[in-house]
Structure 1
Amino acid sequence: MPVRKKPEIVTFPTADGAAVSAAAYVADRETEKQLKDLLPKWGYETAHIGRGTLREVIRDYSEKTMPTVLIVDISRVSLPLSDLQALADICPPRVNVVVLGTEDNVGLYRDLMEIGVTDYLVKPVPSDLLFRAVARASGRLTARKTEPRVGKSVAVYGVRGGVGATTTVLNTGWLLANHHNRHVMLVDLNLTSGTLALEMGLEPTSGLSDLLTDPDRIDPVFVDRATLAAEDKVKLLASETDFAAAAPYEADAVAQLMQHLRSRYHFIIQDVDRAAPETAMTVLQNADVRVLVMDPTLASVRDAARIVKLLKSETGEKKILLVLNRSRSRAGGDVPIEKISRFVDHPVDIIIPFEKKRLALASLNAEPVVREKIPVTDAFLKLAAELIGRKGTSSRSGWLFGLRGG
């Protein structure tokens, strides 16, 4: 009988010298002891190794950063697929999950692979199989040929100036992070006059400008240095360059940056700069979801119709969402909603009600207006639900408004 070759005991630093982090929640003492012995020897920083269920994983990591590798045990879970889907909802794309269990079942294995699990191992797990599974999950060995988990790029474009595109980016991003537990990156593509950092009370740097004007610099280290942290799950890339020194950037540079960010965030929401129409249209065409923000004026309806026509001329079926922002009290010159839908050739998906005073106060305080229980919050909740793929308005009942001290 051939002797099993023991896995090599060696550390694997990442490109920037940092060790890969791992956590494990298991159901029995033997597996716990095995992981406590082997993971540190294999060069993993262990955030947690102990007994626990999937629900405890979700509880522990709903409000803090997850390790790169997550090992979970479903041997005592009655509804493993349901609980794993709940875990997947809060896992950023960069996190890979290795599942342990007791059922040697091909159907279960296929179901787990379909929801994005990296590997499924039957206990008791030989050390060499465990080594290869964890190494694949951390990127140290080539992964099996499966579709990689990637985040969704969303381009938000104000069809006219001052219609509320930045407000839409900020409030929708905050809800995705705080109401839906997603990891979100906001990107202000207006490098000279963007107001997203201002609205969030953050000081912009030159980092985003450097990345877009010299895309060869797009790597994990440089992107991390350019990133501003608004909250644990809300990050920002924004610059404020001098008008005289501002250099143009290409849509290809934006696409390259989006590709890099997709592996780290559930959603990358871009506040598209209207000042360079050709680049802006390409950014819109490249995005997974295009959100067009307009007001009910005739000029806004005209421009929305032109952009929708351009986007619908593409091959493929990327999503377009039309947001009507009632940014002023109703006037006699407003175009009725039914005429907007007919003229633009697209239904109005979201209507943001008139909330001038509350929006102005939220802007002054550098905080999202959706912290409050007001009608405008329901509109942005509906938009966030559309981005996630859930139809209808999310109810405010049962949600802890004022989260994080709001």
Structure 2
Amino acid sequence: MNSSVSEQIAPVPRISLQAFCETPEVAQTVRDAITDRRMERAHVKVHMGGAAAAIEAYRTAATPNVIFLETAASRDDLIIYLETLAEFCDAGTKVVIAGRTNDILLYRELMARGVSEYFVAPFSVLDFVRTISHLYTGSGAGPVGKVIACTGAKGGAGASTLAHNIAWSVARDLEIQTVLVDLDLGFGTAGLDFNQDPPQGIAEALFAPDRVDANLIDRLLSRCSDKLSLLASPATLDRTYDFPETAFDAIIDILRVSTPCIILDLPHLWTGWARRVLLGADEIVLVAAPDLANLRNTKSLLDTMRAARQNDGKPKLVLNNIGVPKRPEIAINDFAKAVDLEPTATIAFEPKLFGTAANNGQMIAEVEPTSKVNETIAELARIVTGRTEVRKAKRNLLDPFISRLGLSKAS
């Protein structure tokens, strides 16, 4: 299953799960689900034999956090299985059942007997992931924040600038509480772009992982507006920033609970933590310029994303700096064909506009709110937050040049 729009499902926490299946098809679906990015923290084992095998297994062994049972048993036999299994279940163990009967009365009876969830087989990978996730985030939990990662295919592609402006648009235009996280620890520019100089930032949490909690993260946030906060990078070189692969997990998990939209400004590097953060995001914005090195890197990144995110929607490709005078460029259609992905947006080369914004510590919307670039950024903000469908307008290759001249198509 590969949805055109990435579904927002919270990552499953570090749990143990044992599945007892009756059919090879369901067992394979569970095995496929284990490879989903949202299940990577869970420790899962798949067994055959259904409910009878589960009962035998737990006569002499402790039960895991979650037991998943596939069964084609009748209602009466299923109740007997559950009563027997209950004799061996540890307190706190959750039981999820996939049956063959779509019966609301059976569902209610199972819920009354302490079953955590019941759904009907066959089911998809995302059905399984969603069900396990909701065991820990559904009942009584707050909304799950959406994580949007912005990265460049090559250094200088403009991913940071785009990330900052998208965050501004999400907060201002869509009125969504947003946190922008600058992950370029040594050279991040978010503080400069928002004219902020916070004394503390994300490094304080990274270098004291045992102290990371919601209160600490809240203290480290710098407020840019009523609905936009910044978790700034130190942007200093007084120490190195080598982190383990899971270094950012706790920070992102805390932000998910408290903030509807989290935008990650990822540096152009390939470490264990950078790969994990990028591939673990709900949405990915990949920014590239129309040259050969960007095309090669874009193809490599997209191949990696497709292999690791088979149950997610396509990344949003943005071709930036279109129409640089006297610079040979790869045509937009040729670039799209080579990477097998149509750009979600193209942005013209506008050195004066972007330069003025950067030097003044302003966003594009503050410098020139009526510009074509600002319209594109606002549309991207709506797309990555799920507020609009992607508009597949006919592309005019002269658009970037027309925009630079300040002319409208109707003129």
Q: Bin the TM-score by the shorter chain.
A: 0.5 to 0.7
Counterpart secondary structure, 2:175: coil
Q: How does 1:178-197 map to 2 (within 5 A)?
A: 178-197=172-191
| Runs (4+) off by over 4 Å | none
What is the aligned counterpart of 1:304 among 298, 301, 307? 298
Distance in structure 1 (CA, Å) of the matches to 2:138 and 2:346:
44
Distance in structure 2 (CA, Å) of the matches to 1:344 and 1:195:
29
Deviations 1:73-122 (A, max 9, x none): xxxxxxxxxxxxxxxxxxxxxxxxxxxxxxxxxxxxxxxxxxxxxxxxxx
Distance in structure 1 (CA, Å) of the matches to 2:365 and 2:236:
32
Give yes or no for contact 1:385–1:392 (8 Å, CA) kept in 2: no
Q: CA deviation at 1:241?
A: 5.2
Counterpart secondary structure, 2:353: helix
Q: CA deviation at 1:232?
A: 0.9
Residue of structure 1 equivalent to 2:380:
383
Q: What code does the residue aligned with 1:388 have?
A: T
Give yes or no for contact 1:189–1:273 (8 Å, CA) kept in 2: yes
Give yes or no for contact 1:213–1:247 (8 Å, CA) kept in 2: no
TM-score, length basis structure 2: 0.58
TM-aligned CA distance change 1:216 to 1:308, over 3 Å: same
Counterpart secondary structure, 1:322: strand
TM-aligned CA distance change 1:319 to 1:345, over 3 Å: closer
User: Structure 1 stretch 175-184 or stretch 347-356: which is displaced more?
Assistant: 347-356
RMSD value, Cα: 2.1
TM-score, length basis structure 1: 0.59
1:173 aligns with 2:173: no
Q: How does 1:183-332 map to 2 (within 5 A)?
A: 183-240=177-234, 242-314=236-308, 315-326=310-321, 329-332=324-327
Q: CA deviation at 1:275?
A: 3.6
Q: What code does the residue aligned with 2:389 have?
A: K
Stretches of structure 2 that go unaligned for 5 or more consecutive residues are 1-135, 392-411
Give yes or no for contact 1:204–1:239 (8 Å, CA) kept in 2: no
Q: CA deviation at 1:161?
A: 0.9
Distance in structure 1 (CA, Å) of the matches to 2:235 and 2:173:
33
Residue of structure 2 equivalent to 1:344:
339
Give yes or no for contact 1:288–1:319 (8 Å, CA) kept in 2: no
Distance in structure 1 (CA, Å) of the matches to 2:245 and 2:252:
11
Counterpart secondary structure, 1:257: helix
TM-aligned CA distance change 1:177 to 1:242, over 3 Å: closer
Give yes or no for contact 1:290–1:320 (8 Å, CA) kept in 2: yes
User: Structure 1 stretch 267-276 or stretch 384-393: which is displaced more?
Assistant: 384-393
Q: CA deviation at 1:245?
A: 1.3
Distance in structure 1 (CA, Å) of the matches to 2:280 and 2:248:
9
Give yes or no for contact 1:292–1:322 (8 Å, CA) kept in 2: yes
Residue of structure 2 equivalent to 1:359:
354
User: Structure 1 stretch 201-210 or stretch 220-229: which is displaced more?
Assistant: 201-210
Q: CA deviation at 1:253?
A: 2.3
What is the aligned counterpart of 2:370 among 364, 368, 373? 373
Q: CA deviation at 1:368?
A: 0.6
Distance in structure 2 (CA, Å) of the matches to 1:149 and 1:362:
34
Aligned residues: 252
Q: How does 1:138-177 map to 2 (within 5 A)?
A: 145=139, 148-177=142-171
Q: What code does the residue aligned with 1:160 have?
A: K
Give yes or no for contact 1:153–1:287 (8 Å, CA) kept in 2: yes
TM-aligned CA distance change 1:313 to 1:363, over 3 Å: same
Counterpart secondary structure, 2:248: helix
Give yes or no for contact 1:187–1:237 (8 Å, CA) kept in 2: yes
Distance in structure 2 (CA, Å) of the matches to 1:284 and 1:309:
13
Stretches of structure 1 that go unaligned for 5 or more consecutive residues are 1-141, 394-406
Give yes or no for contact 1:155–1:284 (8 Å, CA) kept in 2: yes
Residue identity (%): 29
Q: CA deviation at 1:346?
A: 1.3
Structure of higher RCO (CA pairs closer than 8 Å, 6+ residues apart): 2
Q: CA deviation at 1:331?
A: 4.1
Distance in structure 2 (CA, Å) of the matches to 1:209 and 1:335:
39
